[in-house]
Amino acid sequence: MDGVLWYVLTGTSGGRNRHRLLCALKERPRNANQLAAALDLDYTTVRHHLSVLVDHDLLTKTGDSYGVIYQLSPSVRKNWDVVEQIEQGYPDPPLSSS
């Protein structure tokens, strides 16, 4: 899991926004529209990043279509210390677009 987190959050374009999504979902489960509004990101950008996170088993989703609710996977919760370690490595605050 460590390697997947490092790859998805630092080794690819959009890693900072994916990190922001994980942090927002740690607070509470949300849908893509709620995340876009809370993080001031474009809805399609959020949907793309959510898809990447789901594809790498970092998120689980409940529901279908527009109302899908996303939450952290159990393995991400278990390895949250790695997410925090990655956050400390970012030199600047996360960007709002990518």
Enumerate domains of the chain plus CATH numbers.
Answer: 2-88 (1.10.10.10)
Q: pTM for the complete prediction?
A: 0.87
The token pair that represents 11 in the structure block: 């080794």
| Angle (deg, nearest 10), helices 15-27 and 32-39 | 110
Average pLDDT for 28-38: 97
| Residue pLDDT, tens place only, 52-74 | 999 999 999 999 877 899 999 99
Average pLDDT over the chain reads 90
